[in-house]
Copies of this chain bind each other. A is one copy, B any other.
Amino acid sequence: MQFHQPQKEQSLAMLKELIEQNREFDIIDLFSKLHHADVAGLIDNLEEQEKRRLFALLDVEMASDVILELSDHSREQILSDISDERLADMVEEMDTDDAADFVADLPKDQAKAVLEDIHPDDSEDIRELLEYDEDTAGGIMQSELIAVPQKATINDALHAVVEASQEIDRTYNVYVVDEKNRLLGAVPLQNLITSKRHDPIMGAIDTSLPSVNPEMDQEEVARIFRKYDLVSVPVVDREGHLIGRITVDDIVDVFEEESSEDLYRIAGLDEDDHVFNSPWESIKKRLPWLYINLLTAFVSVFVIGFFEDTLKTMVTLALFMPVVAGLGGNAGGQTLALIVRGLALGEITMHNARRALLRQILVGIANGAAVGVVVGFIAYLLKGSSLLGIVLGLAMIINVFVGTLMGTLVPLALKILKLDPALGSNIFITAFTDAFGFLSFLGLATIFLKMLA
């Protein structure tokens, strides 16, 4: 029962041996002892032919669990080989939220065939869920839930749990609704067990817990789970009718998704990019950002071009250009990470954004001065030019300040424009700090040189 990495390696070795010896019954036996996520992990590690052969050995229930856990790559390989009937049987076994996501990812023909083959009730549920945007509460909710009327007793609720247990797992709460199916509150299973059987359900109800609307962004839903320490949340429409629920296992996936997204977007990566994507896909996904980067880099070319004469006069300036640009960029990157994260966690709102900006400006000025003085002094020591030292120090102060300012303003501006604050931000920040760094450094040098001439 314990979780041991070595055990997994062993299972894989054992499985490969069983495959070689064609011992299919033993394979089925091995799988039956494992969690479906582990079975999926094993299948992911096989060759295409073996994947298909072993997947075909699974009964429908196991197959429906396993296919949801397979890597996208394995799933595609197996799906190309599977009959529409078996696919429909598998989808019928799935929870509606998983079924909707699964059907949404199928090729159109297969999706259509499956929706026609399964029970009309299930098909209806899935079609409804498919209507919602996949990044919203509606997109991650499931229709399976247990609800009892407000006149029910604890005993009625317990019976409802027993009756539903074939169809529904992950039951943590029984919901209570009025005669029009409007949500009144939830009763955790623990409370059902500890209450007296003939007491009215309304006595055990918890009304302090939140519900969400299907249109709510999944990131906001995740924030509510975190704030209220929830394991599930009911979803209600505008009139308060109970239409579904979201369980915490789906929210854990949202957290992963959203935090990958921030990291990726800051770096200028497509959120679907993946280490083991085909190189061609990765190239297609990253190249557009590199071209955008190229465009912004040419701003710097023009800024420096403007000072070509100054550079001719004092070519040593070119040595220190990257120092000004790089430190501004990194100071900006630090602030950017902080602000993007603060926005994602809901710590920064439009109300306190001004306070955040003022603090970051203070930090920017102080850090700029701290770095600028050191850099200026080092440059003076290296090259013996006090002009270089002063100009470099000043430019550094300006550019670390600009980087910090931009690191705050860019994500806030994107947020106000209702865009993702992390969207390719690092590329824009560094473009700005590069151009502004060169402008201040070479601009100051030009002025000082003219003053001395």
Question: Measuring CB to CB, which residues of chain A are less than 8 angstroms from any residue of chain B?
Answer: 1-3, 33-35, 37, 158, 161-162, 165, 169-172, 183, 185, 189-190, 192-194, 207-213, 224-231, 236, 240, 248-249, 251-253, 255-256, 259-260, 262-264, 266-269, 273-277, 279, 282-283, 286-287, 289-291, 293-294, 297-298, 300-301, 304-305, 308, 311-312, 315-316, 318-323, 325-327, 329-331, 333-334, 336-342, 345, 347-348, 352, 355-356, 359-360, 362-363, 366-367, 370-371, 374-375, 378, 382, 400, 426-427, 430-431, 434, 438
Contact = CB atoms under 8 A, between A and B. Distances in A.
Contacts of A256: 226, 255, 259, 345
A371 to B, nearest CB: 5
A347 B315 contact: no
A231 B172 contact: yes
Given A315-B308, A348-B275, A363-B282, A287 B370 contact: yes
Contacts of A333: 267-268, 426
A356 B236 contact: no
A338 B259 contact: no
A94 to B, nearest CB: 13
A327 B275 contact: no
22 contacts: A1-B210, A2-B240, A3-B210, A35-B208, A162-B194, A248-B248, A255-B259, A262-B263, A263-B263, A267-B334, A273-B334, A276-B352, A286-B334, A286-B363, A287-B367, A290-B327, A293-B330, A300-B323, A301-B382, A312-B315, A315-B315, A322-B434
Contacts of A183: 1
A322 B301 contact: yes
Contact of A209 (B1, B229, B304): B1
Contact of A304 (B33, B319, B367, B374): B319
A194 B400 CA distance: 64
A190 to B, nearest CB: 5
Nearest to A322: B300
Nearest to A279: B362
B322 A311 contact: no
A333 B428 CA distance: 13
A375 B301 CA distance: 12
Contact of A283 (B34, B35, B370, B382): B370
Contacts of A305: 319
B236 A252 contact: no
Contacts of A297: 322-323, 326-327
A26 B355 CA distance: 32
A323 to B, nearest CB: 4
Contacts of A316: 308
Contact of A301 (B207, B240, B319): B319
Contact of A321 (B37, B321, B339, B375): B321
Given A225-B252, A318-B304, A34 B334 contact: no
A186 B340 CA distance: 40
Contact of A438 (B192, B266, B322, B400): B322
A161 B193 contact: yes
Contacts of A348: 275
A264 to B, nearest CB: 6
Contact of A334 (B171, B212, B269, B323): B269
